[in-house]
């Protein structure tokens, strides 16, 4: 991880302050805009002791400096055993209050959103890097997938993970493993001299089945209510089908 450019061309968060991300940071993040709509993400975390089978390091983008209502990108590295080694995976998730939920992306959406994933565990450090779209060109999943055009605080955290979710991070504020938060907001689209696309607009299929009310055409004499219900039932069926 190259920290040259931190504060000017790169967004960097390191804990403890002044640590070397290649040597002694418990948590570190470097964000750099490297092309049109492309953000390079580099993350590092000290491995948890005792070792866990899955560990994550994650970044969150937030309107404030508190956890809750945040867009999260997680890198999870799994220890697959002596003969397979370590396997990195990257996910989008969302902090709803103090809980975190994964955002499901199909294969095409995942490949559109993320590229060049690499990760390893070396010298008691978990290292992960990838590129991520700044303005996602995929469906926003009912507002859970955010465009990063605008001013956001950046947070970083690490902890253990499970196959379908991450576990809570360290809650002791005095611990070096407690999450780190930027002191100011950043707008990624203002880094580098690149043109970025507009927000993705999903194609909404508004085809629907039209249904007209049934009308009686009988000219028979008026019947009493009971007789009408028995001899001339009226069935109304309304069907509206939405395709997303």
Give the confidence band of 218 by pLDDT, cuts at 50, 70, 90: very low
In the predicted model, is pLDDT for residue 195 greater than 70? Answer: yes
Which pTM does this prediction carry?
A: 0.78
Residue range 182-209: average pLDDT? 75
Has residue 5 been placed in a domain? no
User: What pLDDT is stored for residue 66 in this prediction?
Assistant: 92
Phi and psi at residue 25, in whole multiples of 5°?
-80, 135
pLDDT value for 120: 93
- In this prediction, residue 197 has a pLDDT band, given cuts at 50, 70 and 90, of confident
Answer whether residue 38 is part of any domain.
yes
Total domains in the fold of the chain: 1
User: Who wins on pLDDT, 126 or 233?
Assistant: 126
Give the other-Cβ count within 10 Å of 27's Cβ.
Answer: 28
| pLDDT given at position 161 | 93
Q: What is the mean pLDDT of the chain?
A: 83
pLDDT in the model for residue 225:
41
When pLDDT is averaged across residues 27-36 and rounded to a whole number, the result is 96
Residue 179 lies in a domain: yes
Whether the predicted pLDDT of 48 surpasses 50: yes
In the predicted model, what is the mean pLDDT of residues 60-78? Answer: 95
Structure confidence at residue 83 (pLDDT): 59
Provide the domain limits for residue 75: 10-190
Q: How far apart are CA 91 and CA 124, in angstroms?
A: 23
Distances, alpha carbon 144 to alpha carbons 42, 95, 114, 128, 154, in Å: 23, 9, 16, 23, 17
Q: State how far the alpha carbon of 47 is from the alpha carbons of 54, 92, 160, in Å.
A: 10, 22, 10
Indicate whether 14 belongs to any domain: yes
> Does residue 230 belong to any structural domain of this protein?
no
pLDDT of residue 214: 39
Within a domain: residue 212? no
pLDDT at residue 237, as a whole number = 36
Closest CA to 165 of 218, 93, 117, 66: 93
- String of DSSP letters for the chain: ---TTBTTTEEEEEESTT--TTTT-SEEEEEEEEETTEEEEEEEEEPPSS--SEEEEEEEEESSSSSSSEEEEEEEEEE--TTT-EEEEEEEEEEETTEEEEPP--HHHHHHHEEEEEEEEETTEEEEEEEEESS-SS--TTTTS----S-BEEEEEEEEEETTEEPP----TTSTTS-EE-SS-B-GGGSSS---PPPP----B------PPP-----SPP--HHHHHHH-----------B-
pLDDT of residue 186: 95
CA dist., res. 20 & res. 3, Å (int): 9
What backbone phi and psi angles, to 5 degrees, belong to 173? Answer: -65, -20
Structure confidence by residue, pLDDT tens digits, 93-149? 999 988 899 999 999 999 999 999 999 999 899 999 999 999 999 999 999 999 999
The CATH number covering residue 177 comes to: 2.60.40
Does residue 68 have a pLDDT over 50? yes
Assess if residue 168 is contained within a domain. yes
Which tops the pLDDT comparison, 233 or 27?
Answer: 27
**242 within domain boundaries:** no
């Amino acid at each position: 991880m190259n920290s040259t450019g931190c504060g000017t061309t790169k967004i960097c968060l390191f804990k403890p302050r002044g640590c070397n991300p290649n040597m002694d940071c418990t948590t570190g993040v470097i964000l750099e805009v490297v092309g049109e709509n492309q953000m390079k993400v580099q993350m590092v975390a000290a491995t948890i002791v005792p070792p866990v089978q899955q560990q994550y390091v994650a970044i969150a983008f937030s309107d404030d400096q508190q956890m809750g209502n945040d867009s999260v990108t997680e890198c999870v590295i799994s220890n697959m055993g002596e003969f397979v080694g370590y396997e990195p995976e990257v996910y989008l998730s969302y902090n709803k209050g103090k809980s975190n939920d994964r955002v499901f992306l199909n294969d095409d959406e995942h490949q559109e959103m993320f590229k060049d994933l690499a990760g390893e565990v070396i010298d008691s450090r978990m290292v992960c890097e990838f590129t991520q779209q700044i303005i996602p060109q995929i469906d926003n999943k009912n507002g859970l997938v955010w465009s990063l055009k605008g001013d956001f605080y950046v947070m970083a955290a690490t902890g253990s993970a499970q196959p379908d979710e991450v576990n809570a991070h360290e809650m002791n504020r005095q611990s070096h493993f407690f999450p780190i938060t930027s002191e100011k907001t950043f707008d990624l689209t203002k880094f580098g001299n690149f043109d970025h696309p507009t927000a993705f607009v999903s194609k909404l299929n508004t085809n629907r089945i039209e249904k007209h009310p049934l009308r009686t055409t009988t000219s028979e004499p008026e019947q009493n209510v009971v007789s009408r219900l028995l001899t001339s039932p009226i069935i109304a069926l309304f069907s509206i089908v939405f395709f997303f």
